């Protein structure tokens, strides 16, 4: 009987010695010390033995089991060393948990929303895949307007499009509620632009819409100036330039002074000292009529802002492509 334990142990150790893979080792382990393994079977014989034989035999089988389990461990370790080519250095410091952080654009959205909340605006949103009606027609944009061209807008096969601006959210909100309206709507926009340091096919805008009685362009300038100061500090200047948008009249484009070079001129402001943020203006009466508002009673302003541009100014980032490349060396510099 004792002999059988010895033989089984010897057999197991030999097999383990010659096993060449992790799965072989684990299989052998099962054959000997698994639930129905050979050693386990031997343990089951104990009750059939004489009282004086029991302890000696029991000890022997348990020792054999221990030896096999030890051998399994050491063989697994050896295989690991072979595979990785190195013995783990037990003196190395442990790895820290690596906590991710918010993407700078998401952090920027949150900060902007917070500032507008403070001025009484509410959050609104709309889909990224829009109809031509909401993205263009309802915004008073004629069928032959260049922005509707296939070269500028991504159309889907079923006649929808990827919204080129967040302005369609204006229409969605106004169609759903009576004035007054005071909303901001952050979201992604898509255009068939050539990608360079300041243009991308995917970017983020925040739309603003304010409809009430007796609203003027001065209100718009006041709100945008307050916004600029809260987000970028009191040193930033804002300027309006006359422009044209089909859905606002009058329309402006507005710029923030370049904080990267302190208006001395750099690649981000293209040497002008000013960075273009986006467009704005007084909501065109045609748009108000389209959504069923009476333009004699209600007026308002709308604005868009390019979020990446603002983030670039705030954090001194000189290439818009960085936001979408997911390079950890870039992302790790922010700790939001």
Ramachandran angles phi, psi of 315, nearest 5°? -110, 5
The structure tokens listed for 278 are 């986006």
Q: What share of the chain is helix, strand, coil (3-state, %, to 5)?
A: 45, 20, 40
CB nearer ligand PHE, residue 64 or residue 287:
287
58 versus 250: smaller Cβ distance to ligand PHE: 250
End-to-end CA distance of the chain: 70
Question: Contact with ligand PHE (CB under 6 A): which of 104, 168, 187, 281?
Answer: 281
302 part of the interface to ligand PHE, by CB under 6 A: yes
Taking the complex as a whole, the smallest distance from the CB of residue 253 to ligand PHE amounts, in Å, to 8
Between 187 and 304, name the residue whose CB sits nearer to ligand PHE.
304
* Among the listed residues 72, 75, 228, 280, the single contact to ligand PHE using CB under 6 A: 280
Q: Which two tokens stand for residue 121?
A: 């605006």
- Residue with Cβ nearer ligand PHE (8 or 170): 170
Q: Which residues between 216 and 245 bind ligand PHE (CB under 6 A)?
A: 245
C-beta of 227 vs 303, nearer to ligand PHE: 303
The CB-of-100 to ligand PHE minimum distance in angstroms stands at 31
Dump the DSSP string for 266-323.
Answer: -TTTTTSSEEEEEEEEEEPHHHHHHTT--TTT-EEEEEEEEHHHHHHHHHT---TTHH
Nearer to ligand PHE, 167 or 198 (CB): 167
Least distance CB 175 / ligand PHE (angstroms): 17
Of 4 and 253, which has the nearer Cβ to ligand PHE?
Answer: 253
The one segment of 35-43, 154-162, 177-185, 273-281 that binds ligand PHE by CB under 6 A: 273-281
Quote the CA–CA distance of 213 and 178 in Å, as a whole number.
Answer: 13
Non-local (6+) Cβ contacts of 16 within 8 A are 25, 28, 68, 71, 72, 75
Say how many C-beta atoms besides its own lie within 10 A of residue 54's C-beta: 14
Write out the H or E segment, with its range, that includes residue 188: strand 181-190
CA dihedral for 174, 176, 182, 184, sign (positive or negative)? negative
Question: Least Å distance between CB 244 and ligand PHE?
Answer: 10
> Is residue 307 part of the contact set for ligand PHE (CB under 6 A)?
no
Shortest Cβ 218–ligand PHE spacing (Å)? 16
Cα dihedral 219/225/227/229 (nearest 10) = -150
- Check residue 303 for interaction with ligand PHE (CB under 6 A): yes
Closest CB 176 distance from ligand PHE, rounded Å: 18
Nearest distance from C-beta of residue 101 to ligand PHE, angstroms: 29
Binding mask 148-187 for ligand PHE (x = CB under 6 A): -----------------x-x--------------------
Nearer to ligand PHE, 153 or 251 (CB): 251
Q: Which of 248, 291, 298, 317 binds ligand PHE (CB under 6 A)?
A: 248
SS3 call for 88: coil
Distance CA 2, CA 91 (A): 44
104 burial (CB, 10 Å; 0-12 / 13-18 / 19+) is buried
| 301 burial type by CB count under 10 A (0-12 exposed, 13-18 middle, 19+ buried) | buried
Query: Interface with ligand PHE by CB under 6 A: which residues?
Result: 165, 167, 245, 248, 251, 278-281, 302-304
């Amino acid at each position: 009987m004792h002999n059988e334990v010895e033989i089984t142990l010897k057999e197991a150790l030999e097999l383990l010695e010659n096993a060449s893979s992790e799965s072989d080792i684990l299989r052998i382990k099962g054959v000997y010390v698994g639930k129905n393994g050979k050693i386990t079977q031997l343990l089951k014989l104990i009750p059939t033995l004489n009282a004086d034989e029991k302890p000696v035999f029991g000890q022997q089988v348990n020792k054999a089991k221990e030896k096999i389990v030890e051998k399994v461990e050491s063989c697994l370790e050896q295989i690991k060393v072979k595979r990785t080519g190195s013995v783990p250095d037990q003196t190395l410091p442990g790895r820290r948990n690596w906590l991710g952080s918010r993407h700078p654009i998401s952090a920027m959205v949150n900060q902007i929303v917070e500032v507008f909340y403070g001025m009484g605006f509410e959050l609104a949103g709309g889909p990224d895949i829009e109809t031509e009606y909401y993205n263009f027609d309802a915004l008073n944009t004629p069928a032959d307007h260049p922005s509707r061209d296939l070269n500028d807008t991504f159309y889907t096969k079923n006649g929808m499009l990827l919204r080129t601006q967040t302005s369609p959210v204006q229409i969605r909100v106004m169609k759903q509620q009576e004035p007054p309206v005071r909303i901001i709507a952050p979201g992604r926009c898509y255009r068939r632009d050539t990608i360079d340091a300041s243009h991308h096919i995917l970017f983020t805008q925040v739309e603003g819409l304010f409809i009430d009685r007796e609203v003027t362009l001065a209100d718009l300038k006041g709100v945008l100036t307050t916004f600029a100061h809260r987000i970028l500090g009191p040193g930033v200047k804002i300027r309006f330039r006359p422009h044209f948008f089909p859905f606002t009249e009058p329309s402006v484009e507005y710029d923030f002074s370049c904080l990267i070079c302190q208006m001395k001129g750099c690649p981000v402001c293209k040497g002008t000292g000013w960075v273009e943020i986006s467009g704005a203006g007084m909501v065109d009466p045609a748009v108000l009529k389209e959504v069923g508002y009476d333009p004699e009673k209600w007026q308002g302003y709308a604005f868009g802002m390019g979020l990446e541009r603002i983030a670039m100014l705030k954090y001194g980032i000189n290439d818009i492509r960085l936001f979408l490349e997911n390079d950890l060396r870039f992302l790790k510099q922010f700790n939001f």
